[in-house]
């Protein structure tokens, strides 16, 4: 699903984003990306969705070499990657339903079927009754569930979550985690960057630890810290 | 179809939502178009005035007096003059008519003419031209003619007038172009501000996988709408004001012979609306450009 080969990213003038990172994430895996702030987690994610480009090395996502990806094709890459962020990134002027619909309309799918799909996915994340609410009328956990619904409505093969529980209390976080877990069960690869030690320790999934832009640990069923 | 209605909904929704920015952009377009329209109206009006002045440039051909030309010679010349395409109209002024005119001019002091035993004034042709700029060419044709004494067309006055009108037109043209550039800069800046305020929105659209054109269309529709509406109001104000002013001027300054239909209303309206739409769209496109990268 994801393949990094000797990838280096330097932010001018000389801040190291990632340094010689090589790793391979299989289809259907659930992977935690851990590490302190500035360790390279965000750089990793931004490279994956081609927000930035690496200086050296190769990145292959879903069989596509991002280096040779034409810029007009980037939107199509992103439609195959669902993204969930710490700050939810919802369009504040649209209802929960419209936010989910937006991801469908963008792909040219504004039919009756897609409306049904959007309603279904909102029900799936437990927000069927709040589909007409605007983001500022929803709690943090609810907003995050809308954003997950939006990320998953196209059934992308890859879902990236950047600190999705960073702003949420432990109980709400647990709900979000369960949601991501269920999404993973459908065969979608899930990559989650997080600071949430307890969560990582509880889930016992693959853990990739970054520090100073380097992979310092890659463990099949790891915890947040060294075992 | 679904797409277009989606874009329209998006565009008008955000115009309403960001009403403060909408108003700011509208005012900018309005002011720019008012100034542009004012200049246009001024150009058309002065142009019409200048044309009127230019039309007063005519050629007077004085015929020899000693001896006076025969009626036949006069008739030949008359035919010749009317056959030239440059000539709009011409009239033959006989010696008697010339004297009559002079007497009218000096009606206050008829004693001047008491000592006259014969009529010393020459007969003449007065020629009006289609294009006053051809005055040199037409005048030159009389040179060396056996019955012509002198050709007068106020050469210096004509030359000066033409030099002035040409220059005035050029200046106005440059002014209009500069003004257009300033308007576009001003509007693209305003729109850039409004887009900057919605940077987050654009960022999210990109993250969800919207293509650049998908993001651009609603913004373009917004820009075009703002440009059109701003220009519409501005056009109404400019033309209304022009109508009122022309009326007042021609009432109070009758001697100016203000050309009432100097400003082609339809043309000016079309130009101003088109400019409004173009700067609205261009402003959006330019303003959006840097946010669409990556």
The whole-number pLDDT of residue B258 equals 57
As assigned by CATH, the class of the B58-153 domain is alpha beta
How many Cα neighbours within 13 Å face the side chain of B266? 0
Residues B241 and B263: their CA atoms lie apart, in Å, by: 12
Confidence of residue A146 (pLDDT cuts 50, 70, 90): very high
Region of residue B259 (phi > 0: left; psi between -120 and 50: alpha; otherwise: beta): beta
Checking if the pLDDT of B266 tops 50, the result is: yes
Per the CB < 8 A criterion, the answer to whether B87 and B127 are in contact is yes
Checking if the pLDDT of A54 tops 90, the result is: yes
Residues A22 and A58: their CA atoms lie apart, in Å, by: 9
Q: How far is A73 from chain B (nearest CA, A)?
A: 9
> Which of A221-225, B80-84, B234-238: highest mean pLDDT?
B234-238
Residues A53 and B40: their CA atoms lie apart, in Å, by: 50
Least confident of A100-104, B27-31, B178-182: B178-182
> What's the whole-number average pLDDT of chain B?
81
- The arithmetic mean of pLDDT across residues B47-56, rounded, is 72
Residue-by-residue DSSP string for B125-166? EEEEESSGGGHHHHHHTTTT-TTEEEEE--HHHHHHHHHHHH
Instruction: List the A206-211 sheet strands across, edge first.
Output: A81-85, A158-162, A189-194, A30-34, A206-211, A214-219
Domain regions of chain B by residue span: 2-53+161-292, 58-153
Residues A106 and B221: their CA atoms lie apart, in Å, by: 17
Q: Could you tell me what percent of chain B has a pLDDT over 90?
A: 9
Kindly determine whether residue A106 and residue B2, on different chains, have CB atoms separated by under 8 Å: no
Token reading at A73? 């094709």
Residues A178 and B100: their CA atoms lie apart, in Å, by: 113
Kindly determine whether residue B205 and residue A106, on different chains, have CB atoms separated by under 8 Å: yes
Residues in B closer than 8 angstroms to A72, CB to CB, are 211-212
Pick the CATH number of A1-80+156-227 from 2.60.200.30, 3.60.21.10, 3.90.1150.10, 3.40.50.300: 3.40.50.300
Residues in A closer than 8 angstroms to B210, CB to CB, are 75, 106
Match 């496109």 to its residue by tokens: B285
The whole-number pLDDT of residue B155 equals 65
The whole-number pLDDT of residue B112 equals 76
Residues A109 and B117: their CA atoms lie apart, in Å, by: 104
Residues in B closer than 8 angstroms to A109, CB to CB, are none
Checking if the pLDDT of A60 tops 90, the result is: yes
Checking if the pLDDT of B56 tops 80, the result is: no
Nearest CA-CA partner of B84 in B138, B131, B123: B138
Q: pLDDT tens digits for B267-294?
A: 999 999 998 998 888 888 887 887 776 4
Checking if the pLDDT of A227 tops 70, the result is: no
> What's the whole-number average pLDDT of chain A?
90
CA end-to-end span of chain A? 27
Name the residue facing A106 among B14, B210, B294 (closest C-beta). Answer: B210
Residues in B closer than 8 angstroms to A107, CB to CB, are 209
Per the CB < 8 A criterion, the answer to whether A214 and A41 are in contact is no
Name the residue facing A78 among B201, B208, B212 (closest C-beta). Answer: B208
Kindly determine whether residue B209 and residue A76, on different chains, have CB atoms separated by under 8 Å: yes
Q: pLDDT tens digits for A63-83?
A: 889 988 888 888 989 999 999
Match 């059109």 to its residue by tokens: B228
Checking if the pLDDT of A104 tops 50, the result is: yes
State CA B13 to chain mean position distance: 40
The whole-number pLDDT of residue A57 equals 93
Name the residue facing A106 among B13, B201, B214 (closest C-beta). Answer: B214
State which residue of chain A sits closest to B1, comparing Cα positions.
Answer: A110
B1 to chain A, any CB pair closer than 8 A? The answer is no
Name the residue facing A91 among B2, B3, B201 (closest C-beta). Answer: B201
Would you tell me how many other CB atoms lie within 10 Å of the CB of residue B192?
Answer: 18
Q: How far is B286 from chain A (nearest CA, A)?
A: 19
Kindly determine whether residue B3 and residue A108, on different chains, have CB atoms separated by under 8 Å: yes
The whole-number pLDDT of residue B1 equals 46
The whole-number pLDDT of residue B134 equals 81
Q: How far is B211 from chain A (nearest CA, A)?
A: 5
Checking if the pLDDT of B124 tops 70, the result is: yes
Reported ipTM: the value is 0.84
Domain regions of chain A by residue span: 1-80+156-227, 92-155
Instruction: Spell out the residues 6+ positions from residue A80 whose beta carbon is closer than 8 angstroms to its own.
Output: A62, A154, A156, A157, A158
CA-CA-CA-CA torsion sign (B282, B285, B286, B288)? positive
CA end-to-end span of chain B? 28
**Which secondary structure element, helix H or strand E, spans residue B21, and what is its range?**
helix B19-55
Q: What are phi and psi of A33, to 5 degrees?
A: -110, 110
The whole-number pLDDT of residue B257 equals 57
Residues A140 and A149: their CA atoms lie apart, in Å, by: 14
Token reading at B192? 């850039």
């Amino acid at each position: 699903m994801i393949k990094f080969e000797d990838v280096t990213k330097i932010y001018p003038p000389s801040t190291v984003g990632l340094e010689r990172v090589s790793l391979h994430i299989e289809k259907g895996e659930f992977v935690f990306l851990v590490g302190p702030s500035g360790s390279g987690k965000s750089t990793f994610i931004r490279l994956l969705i081609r927000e930035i480009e690496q200086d050296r090395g190769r990145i292959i996502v879903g069989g596509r070499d991002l280096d040779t990806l034409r810029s007009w094709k980037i939107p199509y890459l992103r439609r195959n990657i669902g993204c969930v962020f710490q700050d939810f990134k919802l369009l504040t002027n649209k209802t929960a339903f419209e936010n989910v619909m937006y991801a469908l309309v963008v792909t040219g799918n504004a039919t009756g079927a897609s409306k049904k799909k959007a309603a279904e996915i909102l029900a799936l994340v437990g927000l069927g009754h709040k589909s007409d609410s605007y983001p500022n009328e929803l709690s943090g956990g609810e907003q995050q569930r809308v954003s997950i619904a939006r990320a998953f409505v196209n059934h992308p093969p890859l879902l990236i979550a950047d600190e999705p529980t960073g702003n949420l209390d432990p109980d709400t976080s647990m709900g979000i985690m369960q949601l991501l877990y269920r999404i993973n069960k459908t065969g979608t690869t899930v990559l989650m960057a997080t600071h949430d030690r307890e969560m990582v320790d509880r889930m016992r999934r693959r853990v990739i630890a970054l520090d100073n832009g380097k992979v310092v640990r890659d463990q099949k069923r790891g915890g947040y810290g060294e075992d | 179809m679904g797409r277009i209605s989606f874009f329209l909904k998006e565009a008008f929704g955000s115009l309403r939502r960001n009403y403060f920015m909408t108003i700011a952009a509208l005012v900018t377009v309005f002011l720019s178009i008012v100034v542009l329209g004012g200049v246009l109206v001024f150009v058309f009006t002065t142009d019409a005035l200048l044309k009127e002045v230019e039309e007063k440039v005519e050629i007077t051909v004085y015929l020899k007096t000693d001896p006076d030309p025969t009626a036949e010679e006069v008739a030949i010349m008359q035919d010749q003059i009317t056959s030239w395409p440059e000539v709009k109209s011409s009239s033959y002024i006989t010696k008697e008519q010339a004297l009559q005119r002079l007497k009218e001019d000096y009606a206050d002091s008829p004693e001047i003419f008491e000592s006259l035993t014969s009529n010393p004034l020459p007969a003449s042709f007065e020629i009006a031209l289609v294009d006053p700029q051809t005055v040199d060419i037409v005048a030159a044709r009389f040179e060396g003619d056996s019955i012509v004494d002198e050709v007068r067309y106020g050469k210096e006055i004509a030359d000066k007038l033409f030099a002035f009108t040409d220059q005035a037109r050029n200046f106005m043209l440059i002014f209009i172009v500069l003004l257009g550039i300033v308007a576009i800069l001003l509007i693209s800046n305003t729109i850039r501000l409004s887009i900057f305020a919605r940077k987050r929105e654009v960022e999210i659209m990109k993250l969800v996988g919207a293509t650049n054109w998908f993001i651009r269309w609603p913004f373009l529709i917004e820009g075009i709408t703002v440009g059109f509406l701003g220009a519409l109001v501005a056009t109404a104000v400019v033309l209304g004001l022009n109508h009122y002013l022309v009326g007042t001027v021609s009432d109070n300054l009758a001697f100016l012979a203000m050309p009432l239909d100097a400003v082609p209303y339809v043309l000016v309206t079309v130009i101003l609306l088109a400019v409004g739409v173009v700067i609205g769209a261009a402003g959006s496109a330019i303003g959006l450009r840097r946010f669409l990268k990556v």
